[in-house]
Structure 1
């Protein structure tokens, strides 16, 4: 028989399980954990393990997804960088120089110094820039699609970050189109700013100033022929050869990631063609037009020669056409030149003063000295001086010791107006006596020799040789002795057979001339030739002199040759001979008159 006991009115289930002691007053209200069932502990542990596994799976998923995305990104960036690098590596020096590099100028050239070997230290100013977007294909284009625009945008971003490059190069060798060496240049390292989408004008270029050493060829004939040929073609065609060119990112001497971007080019050869623009004051180049002679470009403004300490010194000023644009300025230090007379007789050395170009003409001042004349060359200088005093131009050649085998032909103009060297020519105690069918003239010749203005030198006129045509009345305006046909009213010709010994003394100078000298020479029994067919004119003239109340007016046209010694002009030869010094005038002659020429 079973007994049901209820607690708090609830029946106690007496199942098959193990009997449980009923609670008592000592039974705790909250059971002790050790009293929890073992099944509850196992469930909790399994729950924790499952949670850790879920978290691990999530972390692994995130890791692999991130790794995949990073790999894709790295590969994408690598491919993108490779595409940019491949584009940059395909650039040739010719493409960079001809399509990307832009140089405006030079706007100023200053020659700083010149070496004994002909080298020239020069400071050059201009503006330079590199269209990096143009040569890499990164410039904007309205025809680009979305992907092309995105690709170019990233490339432009990289170029902007790079900003500029530094360029260093070995010596630059310049040759002509015929492979003749023209010059070698040593160019310093320089920075070149990178530009994207440059405007149509050149406002994007940045100023640059660099000192360049130029070693031109020592064969001046090569330079001369090069310029002449270029002028005929209308363009300078140059070949340049550079052994090595190193390009580095960033500015000169800087540090940072930019300087890890480096590239090097070797054996860089390129052809540069520079079109010669129309130059003011010069003919249009090209069309096989020859280069104009130097005489067309330079004008002698003043010339003087002076005797200083037994040496003949020279001073001159000239103007040269400046064909360069207004934005171009050139300054040069003193330059030495040698002036020679044909065929090849050096007569003077000159040194220009330092000068800067001015527009429209360059003013050039020069000083120098007369060189000792080589043996046998006095006749060359005599011809030059005779033509100069007759206001005739003389051919000269100009060379410089800085460049060998280079001479430029030029014209040394005669003074204008023609100087009146012989003045106040008189013949005192003039006597004419017959000898057979001929006549002889005697007397003392006086003359005033006035050198052209600017010629302040000493000289000694040792001999004279007059050649005179005598007219009845005023002479014609001519300096030619015995012209053919004979001029009207000419009736006699006077010319000594030998040089007349003369005496010379300094005289007071005139305002319009240089040094002046009084010269006299005694003339005895000099032939007076009555011109063929003019015997009647001669008789009429003599009758006027003898029987006329006022005598007769005689006109004289002629030239005089003189022999002079010039102190300060070293020469191994005899005196200089100046031929063809002209004079003309008229004088009234009576029975006791002096034969006079003004």
Structure 2
């Protein structure tokens, strides 16, 4: 109240100095010495402070309550998702959640001592974690609360981000025979990105590049049988067995709360079925389609064998074509791969060549392989096996071979070495110079010098020294008819049977009792052919045997020789065995002669026989008498034969 204003009892105001109040019990002792503010003015700040702290407390309680509710909701959601995840099998995760595209590239890095392959596999992979715990969006069926519930789940997946997977050794077994182990696989730790709600295309997949150690089985028969069954069922069907799978949240370097999320699965089995794609040039797989052989998958386009630079061994080079069964967009590279080529010899085999493929990549529709190597040392006791191989090859017949590799011990592939087409004409221009026919008793002896060219097949550029020959010859009255095929009876001992039926116009048979010493020298060969050699061998008093029932043809031929002005042409047809020494062929570690016998070399030719073949030089009176006696004897023998 102001000191200069007061109110009267009737409410009117009086001005001037105020009248002093009578002291009472309530009057302060100090009077006006100290004036305090009114009590009404002192209570307002206290009320504001109490209101502030009341609000703070209420807010705190609300926060605590909301946090508790959120924790409870989160816990319930986490337990709900965990319960769903616990009921999901690894097989279901692989089948429904894991999406893999590829592989796009496979690089063979190196080979281990136990026959394993380290390969780098690249592809695209993604994990649709939202589908596993059923939080993937479904606009047609999701309601308000369902959408909120799923959104929280998708948010949690995004927060988790990655999972890290560690696998124990994977065993791959055949579905058709579970007792057969086809391979074992070891992988490094894999980090996979989780996706909550991926788009329908594959744009959400992330790049995967992982090294894998693949160790195939050493039992080749198990692999062949698996491939046969797969071809029959049209699927490569296997089961992978993983003894232990460990999954934890986050990446391998994560040490946050994510690493506390982990799960372990034991004895995980997963079936894998891959449909066999159509292969160009081969029938479609199926129960009524035979399984293709290796010779159907691989084509030898060229083959060359020549002396090495040091001339101490034989070098091999070849180009082969293999059908590419991989998808067109897949890339594949390898280092050089070694192989051993062997020839079967009863229950054993003889290694004859060591080769390796140059690094190659996939090309469609066929892969080109460049192969190089050398001929291996061969014991002299095993040269007949190599001779048989060459006999079949020169006769245009396929040869059985065995392919193995030191990097895959125990695995062998039986296939055929392709035959050349057309059949190589090794013996050419066969003729007999200075041929003489002398009657002795009831038989006739022939002498002369056999000349021929040996022309090796295309790509065979080696140095030969022909040591011996053994011809088996049919003699014809006149040129050999065109419709008479060259027999394939074999010329090496023992003597083969005569052809049945006998060819038309054939009347005689010439076969020495033993090998004939021969000489050879290199000559120029034509383009597109192998090395060529001129060969000569002397025939001395080799019997000419008249063929059964061909006495008339023999008499007609003798008459032409004796009474004709220009003599007569004798056609010759047959086969020859040739013993050759091959330079650079490592027989007995290089100490052997390297001699081999080639059998069944066909030839066809002719020779003109004159009267002078019955004597040498300018005939004397004595030689003329000898010639007349020979003619008389020939006529007598001819009449007796008739």
Q: How many Å apart are 1:52 and its aligned residue? A: 9.4
> In the alignment, which of 167, 172, 175 is matched to residue 173 of structure 2?
175
| Equivalent-residue separation in structure 1 for 2:359 and 2:85 (angstroms) | 47
Deviates more, 1:57-66 or 1:575-584: 57-66
Q: How many Å apart are 1:412 and its aligned residue? A: 1.3
Correspondence for 2:152: 154
| Equivalent-residue separation in structure 2 for 1:554 and 1:106 (angstroms) | 70
Contact 1:391–1:417 (Cα < 8 Å) also in 2: yes
> In the alignment, which of 481, 485, 508 is matched to residue 478 of structure 1?
485
Shift of the 489–61 alpha-carbon distance from structure 1 to 2, 3 Å rule, reads same
Give 5+ residue unaligned stretches, structure 1: 1-6, 12-23
Q: How many Å apart are 1:437 and its aligned residue? A: 2.8
Correspondence for 2:190: 190
| Equivalent-residue separation in structure 2 for 1:583 and 1:492 (angstroms) | 16
TM-score normalized by the length of structure 2: 0.81
Correspondence for 1:400: 405
Contact 1:109–1:330 (Cα < 8 Å) also in 2: yes
Alpha-carbon displacement from aligned partner over 1:284-306 (angstroms, at most 9, x marks no partner): 23426443111111111111211
Asked if residue 460 in structure 1 is aligned to residue 465 in structure 2, the reply is yes
Alpha-carbon displacement from aligned partner over 1:236-276 (angstroms, at most 9, x marks no partner): 33332334333333344356554443333344333333332
Q: Any residues of structure 2 matched to 1:55-204 within 5 Å, and which? A: 67-141=64-138, 142-177=140-175, 178-204=178-204
Q: How many Å apart are 1:495 and its aligned residue? A: 1.3
Contact 2:430–2:606 (Cα < 8 Å) also in 1: no
Correspondence for 1:420: 425
Alpha-carbon displacement from aligned partner over 1:116-149 (angstroms, at most 9, x marks no partner): 2212111111111112122221122223343323
Correspondence for 1:524: 540
TM-score normalized by the length of structure 1: 0.86
Correspondence for 1:276: 276
Correspondence for 2:208: 208
Alpha-carbon displacement from aligned partner over 1:306-332 (angstroms, at most 9, x marks no partner): 122321221111111112221112111
Contact 2:576–2:601 (Cα < 8 Å) also in 1: yes
| Equivalent-residue separation in structure 2 for 1:158 and 1:271 (angstroms) | 31
Contact 1:173–1:185 (Cα < 8 Å) also in 2: yes
Shift of the 34–338 alpha-carbon distance from structure 1 to 2, 3 Å rule, reads same
Shift of the 578–77 alpha-carbon distance from structure 1 to 2, 3 Å rule, reads same
Correspondence for 1:432: 437
Q: How many Å apart are 1:172 and its aligned residue? A: 2.4
Where 1:324 maps in the other structure, the secondary structure is coil
| Equivalent-residue separation in structure 1 for 2:153 and 2:301 (angstroms) | 62
Where 1:277 maps in the other structure, the secondary structure is coil
Contact 2:279–2:323 (Cα < 8 Å) also in 1: no
Deviates more, 1:232-241 or 1:446-455: 232-241
| Equivalent-residue separation in structure 1 for 2:269 and 2:312 (angstroms) | 57
Asked if residue 576 in structure 1 is aligned to residue 568 in structure 2, the reply is no
CA RMSD between the two structures: 3.5
Q: Any residues of structure 2 matched to 1:43-58 within 5 Å, and which? A: none
Contact 2:154–2:197 (Cα < 8 Å) also in 1: no
Alpha-carbon displacement from aligned partner over 1:328-355 (angstroms, at most 9, x marks no partner): 1211111111111123222111111111
Correspondence for 2:563: 547
| Equivalent-residue separation in structure 2 for 1:316 and 1:444 (angstroms) | 39
Q: How many Å apart are 1:160 and its aligned residue? A: 2.8
Asked if residue 448 in structure 1 is aligned to residue 453 in structure 2, the reply is yes
Asked if residue 384 in structure 1 is aligned to residue 389 in structure 2, the reply is yes
Where 1:434 maps in the other structure, the secondary structure is strand
Correspondence for 1:365: 370
> In the alignment, which of 330, 333, 338 is matched to residue 332 of structure 2?
330
Q: How many residues align?
A: 575
Shift of the 203–33 alpha-carbon distance from structure 1 to 2, 3 Å rule, reads farther
Deviates more, 1:123-132 or 1:401-410: 401-410
Contact 1:460–1:564 (Cα < 8 Å) also in 2: yes
Asked if residue 505 in structure 1 is aligned to residue 512 in structure 2, the reply is no
Where 1:376 maps in the other structure, the secondary structure is helix
Q: How many Å apart are 1:398 and its aligned residue? A: 0.9
Deviates more, 1:236-245 or 1:435-444: 236-245
Q: How many Å apart are 1:31 and its aligned residue? A: 9.6
Contact 1:282–1:323 (Cα < 8 Å) also in 2: no
Contact 2:430–2:605 (Cα < 8 Å) also in 1: no
Shift of the 534–253 alpha-carbon distance from structure 1 to 2, 3 Å rule, reads same
Asked if residue 590 in structure 1 is aligned to residue 610 in structure 2, the reply is yes
Correspondence for 1:341: 343
